[in-house]
Amino acid sequence: MWRYVSSRQLEGFRRYKYNAVDTNPLSVYIMQPIWNKIIKIVPLWIAPNLLTFSGFVMILVNYFLISFYDWDYTASGTSPGLVPTWVWLFSAFTTFCAYALDSIDGKHARRTQSSTPLGELFDHGLDSWATSIFVLSFFSVCSRDNGKTGVSVYTMYIYLSIVLFNFMCSHWEKYNTGVLFLPWGYDISQVVLITAYLLTGAVGVEVWQKPFLFGYYITDALVILLIGFSLFLSFPQTLYNIHRAHLKKTLKNDSLYEVLLPLVSPLLLFILLTVWVVFSPSNILEKQPRLFLWMVGVTFSNVICKVIICQMSSTQPELLHWFLFPLALVVYAAISGLLGWTEEAALATFTALVTAAHLHYGVCVGMQLSEHLNIYIFSLKKRVQE
């Protein structure tokens, strides 16, 4: 087992205390009462992490099912009906189940008195990956631009980047304040996704190909809402909460360098990815949108997982994540023309390697914390110490 978590971080996990604030009216007044009823039917012998992992598996199953019918994001545009109706209804079902399981796992942990730092890390680590997968699945509903309707692959990239930026801001905020202010966008996005899948299953993908209001399509409205929500609500709220912690002398980091440090690797990651998208000689995003966007989600998840570990263990993150170095080499080779016609093969190879590295990282970190905290990941039983 490769030991990714340092001894100092392991000790920090022992001192960690969960602190979160939820002010979203949709969550507080509508969804929480629903989750409180659902949690009562979960058997007490089931480990909370099993709920978390089951939800993530459902997200993956849904993603790979949609990918099977619509690998290049054209099935809903050029060939409506290629994706069977039952797939959209299944997507609505799996999305709701994943949403529910992700919402009740913490409640179940408190209910069974099994709340641990490992459980929170497991939850947020999978969330960092699931966030991109939700978006990539939804793109099949919209379809890529076919000259008449649909969304361009570049808009998809921007859309995904904004969603991941919002996720990053939440954990950057917690890194500096010690409090996770649960983002309003999560519950809203889940309800929108479920509604979109149900609408597509009931009416067909044609609903996304007709002007909705003043000549704008529903997808246009969603992109405008996302950008507006991010720029005028989510990000300003993050800055306000950090500033308020500074005024109250509760900010966890003293210097501006320490405050901004967790942002360096994620921002460099998106700079490198954007350079590849813009200057690719073969228009790699046009040719392999699903593969490229999957790679974006995986690399982001690994970078943010390390930030989450540092935030929970009260340690300082590294300045440059190691993924940045091989990515920089691939990007340079691609935009300089060194890769030539092998650029797609290089993308596929790099994507496979970072996905394997991310899986290895997740498994090893889980096993390491399981051993250190003397608990099992998927069982409520205590480990037998040697």
First to last CA, the chain: 17
Would you say residue 337 has pLDDT above 50?
yes
Would you say residue 308 has pLDDT above 90?
yes
From the centroid of its chain, how far is CA 96?
16
pLDDT of residue 208: 81
- Residue range 126-140: average pLDDT? 95
CA angle 368, 173, 58 (to 5 degrees): 55
- Residue range 174-203: average pLDDT? 91
pLDDT of residue 147: 72
Would you say residue 253 has pLDDT above 70?
yes
pLDDT of residue 230: 77
- Residue range 92-96: average pLDDT? 97
- Residue range 240-261: average pLDDT? 92
Q: Which residues pair with 120 in a beta bridge?
A: none
CB atoms within 10 A of CB 294: 19
pLDDT of residue 386: 46
Q: Which residues pair with 181 in a beta bridge?
A: 21
Q: Are 309 and 318 in contact (CB under 8 A)?
A: no
From the centroid of its chain, how far is CA 59?
11
The three-class DSSP label of residue 332 is helix
- Residue range 288-309: average pLDDT? 97
Residue 29, both tokens: 């007044």
Q: Give dist(CA 165, CA 235) in Å, integer.
A: 9
Would you say residue 198 has pLDDT above 70?
yes
pLDDT of residue 185: 85
The domain locations on the chain are 7-373
Q: Give dist(CA 336, CA 342) in Å, integer.
A: 13
User: For residue 181, what is the enclosing H or E element?
Assistant: strand 180-181
Query: Residue 257: which residues within 8 A CB-CB, separation 6 or more?
Result: none
pLDDT of residue 384: 57
Would you say residue 215 has pLDDT above 80?
no
Q: Which of 53-57, 329-333, 338-342, 379-383 has the lowest mean pLDDT?
A: 379-383
- Residue range 60-71: average pLDDT? 96
Would you say residue 93 has pLDDT above 90?
yes
- Residue range 110-126: average pLDDT? 95
- Residue range 82-91: average pLDDT? 93
pLDDT of residue 81: 66
- Residue range 30-57: average pLDDT? 96
User: For residue 125, what is the enclosing H or E element?
Assistant: helix 117-142
Mean pLDDT, the chain, rounded, equals 92
Query: Sorting pLDDT into bands at 50, 70 and 90, what band is 79?
Result: low
Query: Sorting pLDDT into bands at 50, 70 and 90, what band is 383?
Result: low
Q: Would the CA dihedral through 168, 95, 79, 352 be positive or negative?
A: positive
From the centroid of its chain, how far is CA 152?
21
pLDDT of residue 161: 95
**Residue in this structure with the two tokens 């529903």, named with its chain if needed:** 218
CB atoms within 10 A of CB 98: 26
pLDDT of residue 156: 93
Q: What is the pLDDT of residues 134-164, one digit of tens each?
A: 999 999 988 888 777 778 999 999 999 999 9
**Residue in this structure with the two tokens 């060194």, named with its chain if needed:** 338
Q: Are 300 and 128 in contact (CB under 8 A)?
A: yes
Q: Give dist(CA 169, CA 78) in Å, integer.
A: 37
- Residue range 198-225: average pLDDT? 81
Q: Give dist(CA 366, CA 343) in Å, integer.
A: 34
Q: Are 115 and 18 in contact (CB under 8 A)?
A: yes
- Taking the whole predicted model, whether its pTM rises above 0.85 is answered as yes
pLDDT of residue 211: 77
Would you say residue 385 has pLDDT above 60?
no
